[in-house]
A = this chain, B = another copy of it.
């Protein structure tokens, strides 16, 4: 990993204050806005087709999340996405619940047909469905049982564990190769993959799966980091930014869990503590705790 980059990106985000244009779901929109502010960016939520290009143009990157799609979502996402592509802004795409309905699957596919994503983030089930839809392949080395997602969560056979790791790394790499985007597959272990390499991130804690919006919030951090790292066309910079953002979020989760434990807190307080940690961390916090396995 680029040492200099690694050592200063968290600070750079706070200095640059990138504007993140979000077209996201209404369930976690407030959390996403708060986490973008916490890590140093400036969020603007705007999901109407009438203003999508203009808002994208004044922003530094674009976050697209199909968590609660509606009639106008596809149109707004494509308009904003084309503008972001034109300006070489990173587009972060989160295919929430793809596979749960044909409607979501088709929205994701039409979007990726028109817009070049710099990062695609999802759980293993989501990314596997997306790969299959795009290529007809179901990921290599998968066992035969074609498990589907459990709603918006990964199915058991898609949990990222030591015994599923190799197959899922292959899926992430294949998705990156098929789309040109960095693939971020999150779970108990996180995988950040380009067509060539796949890094493992062993940060995070089980509590993150017990609050809504962990993934959506990570999308926001990745967006702010990618916007600060360089233009979308530099896959190398985007890759490192995505890996660092994912590790940073995981580390903040660990620290939040430790803090929440000291006062016997549950998931409500954990969520506050997580946002706290993201707002407090800096490059030296990161240096102490991130666990990225370059492979």
Contacts from A to B (Cβ < 8 Å): 17, 19, 25-31, 33-34, 37-38, 42-48, 50-51, 54-55, 58-59, 67-72, 97, 100-104, 150-153, 210-213, 264-269, 271-280
A64 to B152 alpha-carbon distance, docked (Å)? 19
The answer to whether A151 and B266 have CB atoms under 8 Å apart is no
The answer to whether A42 and B210 have CB atoms under 8 Å apart is no
A265 to B260 alpha-carbon distance, docked (Å)? 12
Chain B residues lying within 8 Å of A278, measured Cβ to Cβ, are 266, 268
**Closest residue to A50 on the B side, CB-wise?**
B103
**Closest residue to A73 on the B side, CB-wise?**
B48
A268 to B37 alpha-carbon distance, docked (Å)? 11
The answer to whether A212 and B59 have CB atoms under 8 Å apart is no
Chain B residues lying within 8 Å of A33, measured Cβ to Cβ, are 27-28, 212-213
Given known pairs A38-B266, A268-B279, the reply for A59 and B151 (CB within 8 Å) is yes
**Of B55, B152, B279, the contact of A210 (CB 8 Å cutoff):** B279
The answer to whether B275 and A267 have CB atoms under 8 Å apart is yes
A252 to B52 alpha-carbon distance, docked (Å)? 36
Given known pairs A50-B103, A51-B102, the reply for A268 and B34 (CB within 8 Å) is yes
The answer to whether A101 and B46 have CB atoms under 8 Å apart is yes
5 additional A-B residue pairs with CB within 8 Å, beyond A34-B267, A264-B280, A271-B272: A38-B266, A38-B268, A46-B97, A48-B70, A54-B102
